[in-house]
Structure 1
Amino acid sequence: MKIIISPAKNMKPAQSETIPRSLPAYLSHTQEIIEVLRTYSPMDLEILMRINPSLALDAADRIQTMKFDQNGTAAIETYDGIQYKYMKPLTFSDSDKEYAQKTIRILSGAYGILKPYDSIYEYRLEMLTKLNVAGTKNLYEYWSDLLYQDLTASDDRIVNLASEEYAKCIRKYVKAPVRFLTCSFKVRKNGVYKTLATAAKMARGQMVHYIITNRISDFEKLKEFDTDGYFYEPSLSSDSEFVFLQR
């Protein structure tokens, strides 16, 4: 079983002394992307990435200083978004880290696909960025089905805990016998259960933590997830989507 998650826009150097265990699988692709980005000025990046001048300057600096070696920081401890905070990777034991390395895959516009303890450097590049690389019109086209082929090379079960921006990189290629299962989380608001972006990110992080620390390898076991008052609701679920409601 493989878990797919999104990267985070915010990044920071890892706060622990965890040493990266591996290099990203598609570094040559990353280098090709970065070489294209290095031709962009901060003003160009501001337009391309639809960000403010300050963020564009930061993005340009990261692009120009990007490295591709083992001396970066562990991916799962470098991303600094809500999902990662609730995933709590800094609390993982050594055996948790081993299971995470086998199970979690982080999808990335720059790196394609990452194991949690791959060595990475800070960058800013969303998958939906319309960057032309090697004759392709955007990053979805550039990565094509490569990420799906990587995920399914040794496993035919994927748990989707990524945002739609990244999940569709995989979903569009799924075919039998691969099973692609999305976990959705809804909270009650004004008497109605809804999917709220922040709450969903928190719950997706908690689900990753649950899977890793409990060594979950069976889809059915996911139904036992009960962190923060969530419970599996069979009437809203299907073979392709498990829905969890919060009490």
Structure 2
Amino acid sequence: MLVLFSPTKTQKEAPSDQPAKRFFPEITERILSEMQAYDVDDLKRIYRVSDKIAQAAHHNFATFQEHHIAIQSYQGSTFKNMNTNEWSQVDHDYANKHLLILSALYGLVSPNSRIGLYRLDFLTKTTLRLYDLWQVPVTQALNAMTQPILNLASKEYVEMIDTNNLTVPFVSIDFRETVGSEVVVKATYAKIARGKMASQVIKQRITNFEDLKKISFDDYVYNESLSNQSLYVFTR
């Protein structure tokens, strides 16, 4: 089973001597060249951010070096709640084969690959049509891996996959909260739960969707009545 994750806008330095392997070097280089051509004012405009953030992004692109281990560099509650510091080396090795991070710059990123510090998502208004660049190669790569896919990525990143042309099973997960008589999604809790779910899949070596339904943590349990073939809902 492959687990798909979204990246985060925020990153930290995480020096590594792992090889800087790119899945799609030519496409990544094309996007990098585009982003490196922008000045600070350009980045401020297309990101709609402050001078400080635009200056930092410009510096990172101008001095781009792939020195940072991906799974430690990406920040945010989803990554933090994977609790990778509690993983064994065997867990890390397994994750490197079964966890993939979707990226507007790289397409796909393995957890232990080296990456650069960058700011780019599919909402960034560049002259490149990022979804068009990525849909075919990413979809073909996932099909070639011939493994069922557990999607824990956001809608923004799932759209870089042509799910209609996937030849492997593809299931997304929703985490919902019971509030009175309603069952609702709360984004903050859902992000935390995605990280914990990924860690459960890695540590338990989950390989099929039936075993996935048996996972329970933080009072979340599989809710059959709200689920369907392509969407599994966990509620608490």
User: Which range, TM-score by smaller chain?
Assistant: over 0.9
2:225 corresponds, among 203, 227, 235, to 235
Q: 1:109 to 1:185 in 2, by over 3 A?
A: same
Distance 1:74 1:158 in 2: 23
Q: Offset of 1:175 from its aligned partner?
A: 3.5
Deviations 1:167-222, CA, capped at 9 Å, x for gaps: 1212x343364211001100123542111111111010000000001111111111
* Match in the other structure for 1:175: 165
> What TM-score results when the alignment is normalised by the length of structure 2?
0.94
Residue of structure 2 in register with 1:3 after alignment: 3
CA contact (8 A) 1:83 1:204 kept: yes
Q: Which residue of 2 aligns with 1:80?
A: 75
For 1:92, which of 55, 73, 87 is the aligned residue? 87
After superposition, give the CA deviation of every residue in 1:137-170 in whole Å (9 maximum; x if it has no partner).
Answer: x211121311111112021411100000001212
RMSD: 1.6
- TM-score by length of structure 1 reads 0.90
Amino acid at match of 2:178: R
**Alpha carbons 2:139, 2:165 under 8 Å: kept:** no
2:113 corresponds to: 118
Q: Tell me whether 228-237 or 50-59 shows the greater mean CA deviation.
A: 50-59
Determine which of 58, 61, 64 is the counterpart of 1:60.
58
User: In structure 2, what is the equivalent of residue 211 of structure 1?
Assistant: 201
Over 3 Å counting, the alpha-carbon distance change for 1:176 and 1:47 in structure 2 is closer
Identity of aligned residues (%): 34
Runs of 4+ displaced beyond 6 Å = none
Note closer, same or farther for the CA distance 1:18–1:209 as it changes in structure 2 (3 Å cut): farther
What 5-or-longer segments of structure 2 have no aligned partner? none
Conserved? CA contact 2:65–2:117, under 8 Å: no
Q: Which amino acid aligns with 2:57?
A: A
